[in-house]
Amino acid sequence: MHRHLLLIASAAVLASCGEQKSSAPATTEPPAEATASSPPPQPTAPAARGEIADAQARLTLATLAAPYNSADLANGRAAFARCRACHTLTEGGARLTGPNLWNVFGRQVGSKEGFTYSPAMQAADFAWDTARLDLWLDNPRQFMPGNRMIFNGIHDADDRRDLIAYIATQTQAPPAT
């Protein structure tokens, strides 16, 4: 008899733990005003710490000269992974093995304060622009013999385009063409 009462009591307790009833009908669809008034949000990759927000990067991208204004920033970000061990992009960012690249476009070669450049970089007489950065990134040793950068280059033209555009958008300095 005790078992029977125990089973009934257990069933009653379990039944009272069920879902609470709501006066609103259950639905899995969004409210009509949400579907009619706005398009679904577009997924975006989260910005890394110190990275310029996607919206601001897209605005800067639109100001760049062709072909950089049609670059793939996600690919540029991926290409910058090869540079990240030696360079930072943020304003006031650390100098690592290489100099910080904030405001690199239009900056005189070998002039970033606080970084010790090779004699070849110190002797160069030009400011960085997209064309020179493209040549540099393709083959740094050939572009400027005697520089200390230990990097074989990025030989794919699309990757270089995307990387240059990414650097421009992250340093907030549209490059001179």
Q: What is the pLDDT of residue 134?
A: 96
- The DSSP line for 15-47 is HHTSPPP-SSPP--SPPHHHHHHSPPPPP-PPP
Q: What is the pLDDT of residue 49?
A: 52
Low-confidence ranges of the chain (pLDDT < 70): 1-52, 173-177
Report CA-CA distances (Å) from 80 to 12, 56, 63, 77, 86. Answer: 63, 18, 21, 5, 10
Contacts of residue 144, defined as CB under 8 A and 6 or more positions apart, other chains included, come to 120, 121, 124, 136
Q: What is the pLDDT of residue 70?
A: 92
Instruction: Write down the domain spans for the chain.
Output: 54-171
Q: What is the pLDDT of residue 100?
A: 96
Q: What is the pLDDT of residue 54?
A: 75
CATH of domain 54-171: 1.10.760.10
Q: What is the pLDDT of residue 51?
A: 64
Q: What is the pLDDT of residue 50?
A: 54
Q: What is the pLDDT of residue 67?
A: 94
